[in-house]
Structure 1
Amino acid sequence: MAIAGTFSDFSLPELLQFLDQGKKTGILYIEVSQNTSDNKKAIPYYVWLHQGRIIAAADRLDQKCLTLMIDQRGWISERVISRVNQISSNSINTPLGLVLKVQGLLQPEQLKLLFNNQILRPICNLFQIRDGVFKFNQIQTLPLPLAEMTGLSMSANEVTLTSLRLLRDWSALADKLPDPTSSLSGLSVKEPQIHLKAQEWQVWEFVNGNVSIQDIAHQLQIPVEIVQQIAYRLIVVGLIEENFMATSCALPNPTITEEEAVPEPGIKTTVSQSFLNSLVGFLRSRS
């Protein structure tokens, strides 16, 4: 099964939510245009997912991106990496990052930095792009891109949440933000198990369907735009949904806590009904 579209059909955060919720396995191809002095240049980006978790990413398919990233940092030369792969018995079925870690050539913190620069920062940059096309090819048995894998992985929702926290320019997603007069409702009666930051927890305290976003901002004494961005983050990872309100409601006096939630792997979240309806309509139009 293949799903294709543009960022105007679905924003990249919404697409990643869909892939996470469906525990999809396959390759996501993204193409954006970059203006040069002569013409527009198409910039490709490939993301490999296994059961809704992002395991690797690259801007080309020659299996050299991770090696070059390591070499350019002066950690290990390309020649040494090639030699290790030749003599290591487990390089046939083990991610390159773990092969180098077992050999004592890379440390865990270096692998985390590589994963951050390979996936989180590029995804954050892609969130700032208005015009892009995507195609997701679902593959039941995905040939693992071992040479591009650090050995680390993260659910698509976690990648989305982390990358949105890094986002500075929200203009590409401005029309996706919830309305200031809307309220927010949780999609579960339980507290979120996904790791939230202090301000996200503060907004979560008002997720009861009765308080508008602008009133939440007033109560917390932070800009409305910040509350909108926090709300959007929680919406696209399936924790809350937006409720349109005719009028602003009275404020309760919740107890605000800044205690961090302990992350729990493999969290199962819920896609909002409005998002599912939009997706069904989109797929029908493509059939």
Structure 2
Amino acid sequence: MSLTGYLSEYSLAEIFNFVQDGNKTGLLSIESDRCLSRSLDNSYYISFQTGRIMSVSHGHGLEYRGLLKMMEQRQWLSPEQLTGLSINITKLGQPLGTYLKACNTLDSSQLRLLFDAQVVANICKLFGDIHHGRFDFNPQAPLIYAEMTGISLHAKEVSLLGLRMLRDWSSLSAKLPAPTSMLQRVSSTLPDLRLDSQESKVWNLALGELSIAKIAEQLGINIDRVQQIGFRLCAIGLVNEILPVAIIKLIEHQSADSHPATAPISASFLGKLMGFLKKNN
């Protein structure tokens, strides 16, 4: 199933969560709203295989040989090797990094350096720089083996990395859980994700009993910090936000005034209303 929309509707973390939970394979294209002249300078292409991020290409579309260029800049390949790979790169039936490792051309530490520079650094930049634009997930797109090191990470783990590096949360302010909301764990056991110390503490208290404000007070952390952690944990599916009764009643009242009793309330309406309520809470 393809998925198309705008980052104003779904955050990157929510999109990544969708891909991992669905165990999906395909290509996610992110086009910043700054691409006014159809330039690809602010476009990203993220390859997924069974819910794991395999590669990130940036700036020059699917024909860009980014991984090969990184090897060239590091002088890890001879001119003859580069020429041969450039000619035959479209015929690869496996990740380029896996092929070069099997040929004893690159080792595991070199591939890890490439993966961190290509995937981790680009994802952190993407989370920090692009908050508005269009996205498209195409499950029919072919895998871009030429851009893959053979190393991968769960999409949710990459989301955590990207959100931890985020310094300006203004674009996500309407999506943050309200200070009066509570957090409820989805499961009593923590999945195989590496939470930092503050994330672990908030998850331990996410029992549906304490508000965000109370959790912040108990842990001695600023409320906005706990809101950000709460958003991260919600975005990757570890906790759910439980709205206070007053907000639920207001939503029900607004829904009754705005829609006939027989008409279902739309997701976009709920999203906009929740954003308004949180801003004015």
Query: Could you tell me the TM-score, scaled by structure 2's length?
Result: 0.77
Are positions 1:130 and 2:131 aligned together? Answer: yes
Corresponding position of 1:164: 163
User: Which SS does the other structure have where 1:205 is aligned?
Assistant: helix
SS in 1 for 2:205: coil
Q: Structure 1's 84 and 9: CA in aligned 2 closer, same or farther, altered over 3 A?
A: closer
- SS of residue matched to 1:75: coil
2:10 is the counterpart of 1:25: no
Flag the 1:87–1:191 CA change in 2: closer, same or farther, 3 A: closer
Q: Does 1:179 align with 2:160?
A: no
Q: How does 1:1-287 map to 2 (within 5 A)?
A: 1-34=1-34, 41-42=39-40, 43-59=42-58, 60-77=61-78, 79-83=80-84, 92-128=92-128, 129-139=130-140, 143-245=142-244, 278=267
Aligned residue identity for 1:202:
K
SS at match of 1:127: helix
* Higher helix content, 1 or 2: 2
RMSD: 2.9
Query: Percent of pairs identical after alignment?
Result: 40
Retained in 2: the 8 A contact 1:127–1:173?
no
CA change 1:99–1:86 in 2 (3 A) is farther
- Residue 77 of structure 1 deviates from its aligned partner by 4.9
- Can you list the C-alpha shifts for 1:145-197, whole angstroms capped at 9, x where unaligned? 12111001122112111221222222222221111111110011223332211
Q: Partner amino acid for 2:70?
A: M
**1:55: how far off?**
1.3
Which amino acid is 1:136 matched to?
F
C-alpha contact 2:26 2:142 (8 A) present in aligned 1: no
104 and 52 in structure 1: CA distance in 2 versus 1, 3 angstrom threshold: same
Please state how far the C-alpha of 1:241 moved relative to its aligned partner.
0.6
Q: Is the 8 A contact 1:52 1:155 kept in 2?
A: yes
| AA partner of residue 125 (structure 2) | N
Contact 1:33 1:40 in 2 (8 A): no
Asked if 2 retains the 8 angstrom alpha-carbon contact of 1:25 and 1:49, the reply is: yes
Contact 1:101 1:107 in 2 (8 A): yes
Q: Is the 8 A contact 2:56 2:122 kept in 1?
A: no
Letter paired with 2:117: N
* Structure 2 CA distance for aligned equivalents of residues 145 and 87 of structure 1: 14
TM-score by length of 1: 0.76
How many residues are treated as equivalent by the alignment?
Answer: 246
| Whole-Å separation in 2 of the counterparts to 1:101 and 1:61 | 23
Q: Sort the Cα spacing of 1:107 and 1:169 in 2 relative to 1 into closer, same or farther, 3 A.
A: farther
